């Protein structure tokens, strides 16, 4: 077995108060199914015993507040299977976008800021 991880590493496991394996994956080196698979394990570790519980709670809260899910649920935008990386506004999402953009313009003018567009 060879450790391909660049680190950081700890001198011994006594420094870990709590640990959780989050995900795992495997692949074949250069796509050769006859060879040994490479394993990758994703995990989190904390000094405190309660670290994993706090992290899971934080993670659930982050997933609950994910703007991609909220926007689709509120019918503000959608993702097309033909262009999975692009969000497309629905009519109600376009109205909200235009309103937010107008508010930002008012705030920028009040602060005497210069607008820059890429």
* Rounded Cα distance, 116 and 112, in Å: 13
Find all residues with CB under 8 Å of 24, minimum gap 6, and list them: 39, 40, 41, 42
Measure CA 30 to chain center: 28
Reported pTM: 0.58
- Write down the pLDDT at residue 29: 80
- Write down the pLDDT at residue 107: 85
Measure CA 65 to chain center: 12
Find all residues with CB under 8 Å of 17, minimum gap 6, and list them: 46, 47, 48, 49, 51
Over the stretch 6-26, which tens digit does the pLDDT of each residue have?
Answer: 777 778 888 888 989 999 998
Q: The tokens 């507040």 sit on which residue?
A: 65
Over the stretch 38-94, which tens digit does the pLDDT of each residue have?
Answer: 888 888 888 888 999 999 999 999 999 998 889 889 999 998 999 988 989 999 999
């Amino acid at each position: 077995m060879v450790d391909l991880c660049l680190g950081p590493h700890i001198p011994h496991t006594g420094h870990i108060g709590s640990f959780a394996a989050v995900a795992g994956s495997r692949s074949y080196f250069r796509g050769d199914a006859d060879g040994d698979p490479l394993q990758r394990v994703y995990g989190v570790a904390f000094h405190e015993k309660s670290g994993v519980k706090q992290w899971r709670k934080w993670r659930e809260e982050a997933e609950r507040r994910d703007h991609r899910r909220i926007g689709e649920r509120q019918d503000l935008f959608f993702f097309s299977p033909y262009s999975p990386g692009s969000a497309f506004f629905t009519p109600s999402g376009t109205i909200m976008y235009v309103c937010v953009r107008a508010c930002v313009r008012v705030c920028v003018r009040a602060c005497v800021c210069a607008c820059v567009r890429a």
